[in-house]
Chains A and B, each alone.
Chain A
Amino acid sequence: MNLVVKNGRVVDPARKIDAVTDILIRDGKIRAIGKADNADLPQFDATGLIVAPGFFDIHVHLREPGTEEAETIATGGAAAVAGGFVAVAAMPNTKPPNDNPSITSYIVSEARRSSPALVFPIGAITKEQKGETLAEIGEMVEAGIAGVSDDGKPVMDGRLFRRALEYAQLFDLPVIQHCEDLHLSKGGVMHEGAMSARLGLKGIPAAAEDTMVSRDLILAEVTGGKYHVAHLSTRRAVEMVRAAKAQGMKITAEVTPHHFTLTDRAVSEYDTNAKMNPPLRSQEDVDALRAGIADGTIDVIACDHAPHHINLKMLEFDRAPFGITGLETAVGLALTQLKLPLPRLIEMFSLNPQKIMRITPWGVFEGSGAHLTVLDPSRQWKFDVNQSRSKSRNSPFHGWELKGKAVGTIVGGKVVYEDRK
């Protein structure tokens, strides 16, 4: 695909670029950065907008294969580009789970066929995500995985997790953990605290996350593995990650927009769209997450997009499944809630995710895949869940007024999403 991205403020902190200029794209790759007078090529007018290396959400559930009534690779990909993401990493808890190269290949080929966003599958750490024996990690790498995780089903067996951290080094593959001690959290449906006490709902203590992060950090240090903590939600976990980084450990961590935006008060009316795992925590935890974002303890914002069919979310609170959609609100919430300097925002949404996952990186440089996100930080808009590209509607942010939005998404030089005022 050929394209000229015209007159935007091009910002790529990794390449030390911040200038109003043009980007020339031919055959899906960036060929030149600088004034381009190629009037013969299709033009994308970025006047007054920010053009950044394409955003990458490394924590997404696409539900295909197996739960296509909630989401498909095509609809999840469409939601991703509508949220400004050129790429997503797909968690392996499909049905069957992505624990072998056939499923990986299916996801890769189906994404090429139907998804406007790039899709990088994440393989399971253990066979069937059962936490018993290692999955064929190498075979899956050959088929195209970009990381491993048993997301949603933490590897409780410390010995096995140690082996995973060791073995994945063979492929420079990140090992991503959903940190939760399943004994401590058993039966819990929301954060354990005053709200759960009042609502009579069983709590998931912060300790369930903290103890697992603590164990994993020790194993990561012992093995030197490439360890990534998914969706941090507690103050103590942030503090432990900060301390580990201060010691020089090469670990990374992510946070979701809902965890830095909402507290457990959102559950007060038993809204099942406020039910997710890890749960919405206390104000103290939210403050700690924001501090962790500000000081660089947290590397990545990823939304944990978890679509569920409405039939399941209309259940009683304690029986409804965990998870909310997030691809289309992530950037807007980050811009509205965090007021981050632009380079830091781009780092968290694009540069750091690319460093963590095993992929060929992109950015604003000659020869890069032309994957770009175009932002309008001053755009006022309102999220309407009924207009969502996702197949599911389980978002707690319906009707929220946000300031700042991704208004253009370019993948391989093709404009896959554009939102002009």
Chain B
Amino acid sequence: MKRKDLLGIQELAREEILEILDTAETLQEISTRPIKKVPALRGKTVINLFFEASTRTRTSFEIAGKRLSADVVNVTASTSSVSKGETLIDTAKTLDAMAADCVVIRHSSSGAPHTIARMTKARVINAGDGAHEHPTQALLDALTIRQRKGRLDGLKVAIVGDIAHSRVARSNAHLLTKCGSHVWLCSAPTLMPVGGHELVTENCEFLHRTHSMEEALQGADIVMMLRVQFERMDESFFPSVREYFRYYGLTRQKVEQAKPGAIIMHPGPMNRGVEIATDVADGPYSVILDQVSAGVAVRMAILFLMLGGQSS
């Protein structure tokens, strides 16, 4: 991988996306071995710098690094305790001084990984920044889709829920439109970002917006549900959870509007009964756990490509 950092999908070319997915597929087999470890990244140091709570992404990166024999250190930083953002800059410089090879950062502020990347020699991977991007999530979603559907182009993908606050929606919209699939962003008018029609910068004709879940789901190959991010909501976006679920919750009846064989995705953690009914989440079309496994493979691939590991 030529670029120093992986900060978002927006700036990636389609070829770079495919390189990561192809590499992930070759590395996937490692996780099925009795001894799930290869020495590819021995002697490399990966620091998980998480300013925001996360279990699955942090664990996924940690496992990915360890399966490649990198030394993985977890740092749970706080944005509030130390005197404001000096934390961010000083922490970055400190980690650089410790000769970290890669810093995986999650932060509640959009753009925080960009600030870190400008100041460190270490390579930076964005593990989710504010409402901006979550590139590794989009890549693992793409791997899941490609393995289930055999392709990434010509699909109809409905992304339903809290678009305004979702970095997952943004990264997926970039990735899937770049690859030639039609993305339907679906949310209540209050949760659709102003300017959302220009959310992607290329293949704009592949991006669609609707307030109607029926329209989004009609003939969809993929239904991607987003978590309602109550923690980011400081105003009245919808009247109640009951009303939200009525219009934007995924029920079994609604699933039937999608194409037969459509798959249901969710980046997790789920709010059962808010955006997705339990029987759908646990139902036969749900690939939510496949996404989790794909996450380890994709993150292994990214670490491998970025840290210049040797194949073994």
Q: Which A positions have Cβ atoms within 8 angstroms of B?
A: 186-187, 192-203, 205, 269-270, 311, 314-320
The verdict on B58 contacting chain A, using a C-beta distance below 8 Å, is no
Quick check: A199 and B111 within 8 Å, CB to CB? yes
In the bound complex, do residue A270 and residue B198 qualify as a contact, i.e. CB atoms below 8 Å apart?
A: no
Stretch in contact with the other chain, from B41-49, B80-88, B248-256, B292-300: B80-88
A198 cross-chain contacts in B, Cβ below 8 A:
10, 170, 195, 198-199, 201
The 4 closest A-B pairs by CB, nearest first: A270-B111, A315-B85, A200-B132, A200-B131
B196 at the interface (CB under 8 A from A): yes
Chain A residues near B132: list those with CB within 8 A: 199-201
Please tell me if the beta carbons of A193 and B195 are within 8 angstroms of each other in the complex: yes
Contact status of A197 and B199, CB under 8 A, knowing A192-B194, A203-B194, A316-B88:
yes
Q: Given contacts A195-B195, A199-B111, A319-B84, could you give 18 more A-B pairs where the C-beta distance is less than 8 Å?
A: A194-B195, A194-B197, A196-B193, A197-B193, A197-B194, A197-B198, A198-B201, A200-B110, A201-B131, A201-B132, A270-B110, A315-B85, A316-B88, A316-B112, A317-B109, A318-B130, A319-B109, A320-B85
Q: Which of A193, A205, A318 contacts B109 (CB under 8 A)?
A: A318
CA distance A317 to B112 in the complex (A): 7
Q: Within the complex, what minimum Cβ distance (angstroms) separates A185 from chain B? A: 12
* Shortest Cβ distance from residue B188 to the other chain A in the assembled complex, whole angstroms: 16
CB-based contact B109/A316 at 8 Å? yes
Could you tell me the distance between the alpha carbons of A270 and B107 in the complex, rounded to whole angstroms?
Answer: 14
- B side interface size, CB within 8 A: 30
Residues of B contacting A317 in the complex (Cβ-Cβ under 8 angstroms): 109-111, 115
| B129 sits at the interface (CB 8 A) | yes
Chain A residues within 8 Å of B88, by CB: 315-316
Residues in B with CB closer than 8 Å to A196 are 193-195
CB distance from A411 to the nearest CB of B (A): 39
Q: Is the CB of B198 within 8 A of A269?
A: no
Give Cα distance in the complex from A116 to B271, angstroms.
62
Number of A-B contacts (CB under 8 A): 80
Contact between A197 and B235 (Cβ–Cβ < 8 Å)? no
- Chain A proximity mask over B131-142: 1 for CB below 8 Å, otherwise 0: 111000000000
Residues of the B chain whose Cβ atoms lie less than 8 Å from the Cβ of A320: 85
A327 → B minimal CB distance (Å): 26
A242 to chain B, nearest CB (A): 25
Contact between A205 and B194, CB atoms less than 8 A apart? yes
B67 within 8 A of A: no
How far does the alpha carbon of A161 sit from the alpha carbon of B75 in the complex, in Å? Answer: 50
**Interface flag for B99 (CB, 8 Å):** no
Assembly CA distance A193 to B193 (angstroms): 8
Whole-angstrom CA separation of A186 from B235 in the bound complex:
10
* Closest partner residue, chain B, to A206 (CB atom): B194
Residues from chain B with Cβ under 8 Å of A192 in the complex:
194-195
Cβ contact of A316, chosen from B111, B170, B235, cutoff 8 A? B111
Contacts of B107 in A (CB 8 A): 316
Give min CB distance, B87 to chain A, whole Å. 9
Which residue of A194, A270, A311 is within 8 Å of B114 (Cβ)? A270
A319–B85 alpha-carbon span in the complex (Å): 8
> Is B156 engaged at the interface, CB distance under 8 Å to the other chain?
no
CA distance A190 to B296 in the complex (A): 35
With a CB–CB cut-off of 8 A, which chain B residues contact A270?
Answer: 110-111, 114-115
List, in ascending order, chain B residues with CB within 8 A of A199's CB: 110-111, 132
Q: How far is the CA of A203 from the CA of B235 in the complex (A)?
A: 14
Bound state CA distance, A269 and B109, in angstroms? 13
Q: Say whether B234 faces chain A, with CB atoms less than 8 Å apart.
A: yes
Q: A311-B86, A316-B107 are in contact. Are A200 and B194 (CB under 8 A)?
A: no
Q: Within the complex, which residue of A187, A194, A201 is in contact with B234, where a contact is CB–CB below 8 Å? A: A187
Given A195-B195, A316-B85, A316-B88; A200-B234 close (CB under 8 Å) = no
Q: Which residues of B contact A195 (CB under 8 A)?
A: 195
Specify the chain B residue showing the minimal Cβ separation from A207: B194
- Contact A316 to B115, CB < 8 A, known contacts A193-B194, A194-B198, A197-B199: yes
Residue of A nearest to B114 (CB): A270
Task: List, in ascending order, chain B residues with CB within 8 A of A193's CB.
Answer: 194-195
B198 pairs with A201, CB closer than 8 A: no
For A269, the chain B residues whose CB sits under 8 A away are 114
Please tell me if B89 contacts chain A, counting CB pairs below 8 Å. yes
User: What's the least CB distance linking A275 to chain B, in Å?
Assistant: 11
